């Protein structure tokens, strides 16, 4: 939509403030040079109370003190009255839905909604109702993904898929996964209300994936990998901690749980134009830059290992220390070894000179390792454990270097257990290669973000940053059948996988508007 300038007389004063949690700013200084596009008039206005719908999202952080330029609303079509901003749908209703979904939990005092749990069934229903409210045709597939689709004027065209996940970790925040689903449905609802939904040039399908986190079965992306056709039939036999298999869980939820039903889930990649996902950043970068939105360049690869150490169970009071085969102390040594490997990979990569520098250099920037779960048998204070099991989550942007680390780490783990006469079994439970997002999609998402921020604040940030993702996403699975793009949304303190996870109402709104701008511009 071409930007035109119009008379400055009806220049609207808008509120420049940090997000809802902070105080309005004092009158701001003009920047030394006008780095922005030409405008009819630049007026410095003191910050005045105005309807909260005109939020500006650029934090004034110490290290990134930006001189704010307040451009009087002089770019035609940036009509700043609220009905172009749809706050009632993209902000108020979206936040209320996120809050509602954040209470759909399998336990009372914190948020837990794992693959095919009772709460995930309730979440499927409520998400489906929101999709229908947005005018979408809905269904639930044979692995618990919720789909909402509109065909547009050309039902045979390749579809745009917009997705994220409805499952959560344990003691989760209410935005991880849910934000992407709610924003997608809300943006489509605006298109419906504007009468644009039926005229879109290609089908749009929103998918709420059933298992991105992989908490229950330790294999992430079950829902999206099934659609991508990369989920092996053997996944049906993976068991959870109560020895229920994926197949048992599917049948318990009235899904078929057969190889045939798995096969039918796969999408033909010729039917997909692109996959995009809106997700919280789950890191501190956007907040440190004082910006609400960023575009994802790539997603780190990830490997999940299950380590089982078995020793000699015995009496805590009678077995001399020198005669013990204690899997607990062995586990302690291995967990500290894992930390050393991740902090100082240069001490562990045993490549020859040729590729050492490359791998170590790339590793040191992105290698992270975590032991998130540990269990002990029999688990009594006066019993030397017989068995200790724990998980290892290892991630890096460089797949080859990550594999090299896993190789070296495993070698040293076996050596340590040999010294302790403890048996060691290392199982690879999950693996996902690093993924690069599509440049064209990323550029379209970046433009959409600019448009959203322009609409909302009449001011365009210096940049919509491009970030790497250490967190995994369903986009990794979907990249097997489609080009993928991701939009990151600022979250407070970069905190995630915690009830402290928080996205401001205005940033939820910015994300929905960016998605709306993407749809309006590209479909």
Ligand X SMILES: NC(=O)NC(NC(N)=O)C(=O)[O-]
Q: Closest CB to ligand X among 75 and 220? A: 220
Q: Closest CB to Mn ion among 177 and 257? A: 177
Q: Cβ neighbours of residue 118 under 8 Å, at least 6 residues apart?
A: 106
Q: Is 294 in the site for ligand X (CB under 6 A)?
A: no
Q: Closest CB to ligand X among 190 and 394? A: 394
The distance of closest approach from Cβ of residue 213 to ligand X in the complex, given in angstroms and rounded to an integer, is 5
Q: Is 507 in the site for ligand X (CB under 6 A)?
A: no
Q: Closest CB to ligand X among 219 and 310? A: 219
Q: Is 472 in the site for ligand X (CB under 6 A)?
A: yes
Residue from the set 177, 223, 301, 512 that interacts with Mn ion by CB under 5 A: 177
Give 23's DSSP letter. P
Q: Find which of Mn ion, ligand X, none residue 274 binds, CB within 5 to 8 Å per kind.
A: none
- Residue 32, CA distances (Å) to 27, 56, 318, 463 in order: 16, 21, 78, 18
Are the C-beta atoms of 167 and 115 separated by less than 8 Å? yes
Site map for ligand X, 205-224, x if CB under 6 A?
A: -------xxx-----x----
Q: Find which of ligand X, Mn ion, none residue 18 binds, CB within 5 to 8 Å per kind.
A: none
Q: Cβ neighbours of residue 403 under 8 Å, at least 6 residues apart?
A: none
- Binding residues for ligand X, rule CB under 6 A, total 10
Q: Is 176 in the site for ligand X (CB under 6 A)?
A: yes
The distance of closest approach from Cβ of residue 282 to ligand X in the complex, given in angstroms and rounded to an integer, is 6
Residue from the set 204, 246, 456, 471 that interacts with ligand X by CB under 6 A: 471
> What is the Cα–Cα distance from 60 to 288, expressed in whole angstroms?
10
* Stretch touching ligand X by CB under 6 A, among 41-49, 375-383, 450-458, 469-477: 469-477
> What is the Cα–Cα distance from 281 to 272, expressed in whole angstroms?
25
C-alpha 96 chain-centroid distance = 20
Are the C-beta atoms of 169 and 498 separated by less than 8 Å? no
Give 31's DSSP letter. P
Q: Closest CB to ligand X among 282 and 522? A: 282
Q: Is 167 in the site for Mn ion (CB under 5 A)?
A: no
Residue from the set 91, 216, 473, 502 that interacts with ligand X by CB under 6 A: 473
DSSP string, 50-75: --TTS-------GGG------B-S-B
Q: Is 402 in the site for ligand X (CB under 6 A)?
A: no
The two beta strands, 423-432 and 314-315, are unpaired
Site map for ligand X, 301-320, x if CB under 6 A?
A: -x------------------
Residue from the set 167, 176, 501, 505 that interacts with Mn ion by CB under 5 A: 176
Q: Which residue is nearest to Mn ion (CB)?
A: 176
At CB < 8 A and 24+ separation, what contacts does 227-230 make?
227/141, 227/145, 227/265, 227/266, 227/267, 227/477, 227/478, 227/481, 228/266, 228/267, 228/477, 228/478, 228/479, 228/480, 228/481, 229/265, 229/266, 229/267, 229/480, 229/481, 230/477, 230/480
Q: Cβ neighbours of residue 146 under 8 Å, at least 6 residues apart?
A: 124, 127, 128, 131, 138, 139, 140, 166, 207, 208, 210
The distance of closest approach from Cβ of residue 372 to ligand X in the complex, given in angstroms and rounded to an integer, is 9
The distance of closest approach from Cβ of residue 53 to ligand X in the complex, given in angstroms and rounded to an integer, is 30
Give 84's DSSP letter. G
Q: Closest CB to Mn ion among 176 and 287? A: 176
Q: Would you call 353 helix, strand, or coil by DSSP?
A: helix
Q: Would you call 384 helix, strand, or coil by DSSP?
A: strand
* Stretch touching ligand X by CB under 6 A, among 26-34, 229-237, 405-413, 471-479: 471-479
The distance of closest approach from Cβ of residue 157 to ligand X in the complex, given in angstroms and rounded to an integer, is 30
Could you give the angle at the alpha carbon of 84 between the alpha carbons of 79 and 88, nearest 5°?
Answer: 140
* Stretch touching ligand X by CB under 6 A, among 319-327, 352-360, 466-474, 505-513: 466-474
> What is the Cα–Cα distance from 206 to 221, expressed in whole angstroms?
16
The distance of closest approach from Cβ of residue 212 to ligand X in the complex, given in angstroms and rounded to an integer, is 5
The distance of closest approach from Cβ of residue 447 to Mn ion in the complex, given in angstroms and rounded to an integer, is 25
Which tokens in the block code for residue 155? 């039902």
Q: Closest CB to Mn ion among 79 and 500? A: 500
Beta bridge partners of 159: 272
The distance of closest approach from Cβ of residue 319 to ligand X in the complex, given in angstroms and rounded to an integer, is 39
**CA-wise closest residue to 305 among 230, 390, 247:** 390
Q: Closest CB to ligand X among 313 and 498? A: 498
Site map for Mn ion, 25-64, x if CB under 5 A?
A: ----------------------------------------
Which tokens in the block code for residue 201? 């040039």
Q: Closest CB to Mn ion among 75 and 397? A: 397
Residues making contact with Mn ion (CB under 5 A): 176-177
Q: Site residues (CB under 6 A) for ligand X?
A: 176, 212-214, 220, 282, 302, 471-473
């Amino acid at each position: 939509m071409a930007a035109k300038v119009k008379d400055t007389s009806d220049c609207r004063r808008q509120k420049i403030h940090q997000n809802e949690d902070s105080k309005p700013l004092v009158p701001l200084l003009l920047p030394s040079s006008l780095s922005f596009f030409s405008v009819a008039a630049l007026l410095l206005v003191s910050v005045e109370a105005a309807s909260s719908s005109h939020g500006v999202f650029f934090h004034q952080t110490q290290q990134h003190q930006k001189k704010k330029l307040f451009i009087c609303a002089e770019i035609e079509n940036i009509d700043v009255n609220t009905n172009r901003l749809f706050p009632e749908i993209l902000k108020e209703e979206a936040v209320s839905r996120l809050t509602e979904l954040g209470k759909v939990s399998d336990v009372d005092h914190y948020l837990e909604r794992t693959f095919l749990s009772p709460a995930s069934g309730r979440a499927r229903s409520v998400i489906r109702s929101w999709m229908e409210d947005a005018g979408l045709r809905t269904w639930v597939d044979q692995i618990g993904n919720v789909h909402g689709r509109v065909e547009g004027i050309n039902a045979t065209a390749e579809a745009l898929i917009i997705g994220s996940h409805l499952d959560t970790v344990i003691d989760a925040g209410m935005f991880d996964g849910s934000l992407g689903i709610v924003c997608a449905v809300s943006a489509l609802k605006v298109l419906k209300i504007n009468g644009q939904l039926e005229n879109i040039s290609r089908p749009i399908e929103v998918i709420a994936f059933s298992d991105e986190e992989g908490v229950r079965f330790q294999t992430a992306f079950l829902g999206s990998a099934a659609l991508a056709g990369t989920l092996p039939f053997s996944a049906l036999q993976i068991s959870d901690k109560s020895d229920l298999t994926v197949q048992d869980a599917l049948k318990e939820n009235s899904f078929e749980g057969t190889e045939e039903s798995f096969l039918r889930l796969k999408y033909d990649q010729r039917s997909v134009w692109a996959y995009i996902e809106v997700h919280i950043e789950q890191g501190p970068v956007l907040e440190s830059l004082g910006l609400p939105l960023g575009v994802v360049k790539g997603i780190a690869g990830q490997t999940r290992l299950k380590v089982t150490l078995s020793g000699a169970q015995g009496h805590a009071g009678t077995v001399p220390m020198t005669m013990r085969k204690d899997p607990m102390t062995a586990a302690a040594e291995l967990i500290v070894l894992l930390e050393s490997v991740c902090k100082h990979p240069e001490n562990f990569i045993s490549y020859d000179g040729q590729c050492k520098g490359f791998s170590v250099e790339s590793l040191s920037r992105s290698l992270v390792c975590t032991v998130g779960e540990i269990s002990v048998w029999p688990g009594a204070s006066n019993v030397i454990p017989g068995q200790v099991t724990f998980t290892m989550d290892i991630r890096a942007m460089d797949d080859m270097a990550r594999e090299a680390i896993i190789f070296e780490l495993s070698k040293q783990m076996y050596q340590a257990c040999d010294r302790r006469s403890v048996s060691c079994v290392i199982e690879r439970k999950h693996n996902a290669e690093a993924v690069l997002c599509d440049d064209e999609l990323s550029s379209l998402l970046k433009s959409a973000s600019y448009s959203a921020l322009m609409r909302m604040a009449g001011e365009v940030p210096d940049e919509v940053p491009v970030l790497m993702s250490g967190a995994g996403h369903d986009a990794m699975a979907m990249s097997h059948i489609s080009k993928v793009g991701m939009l990151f949304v600022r979250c407070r303190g970069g905190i995630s996988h915690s009830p402290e996870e928080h996205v401001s109402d205005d940033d939820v709104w910015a994300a929905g508007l960016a998605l709306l701008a993407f749809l309006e511009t590209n479909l």
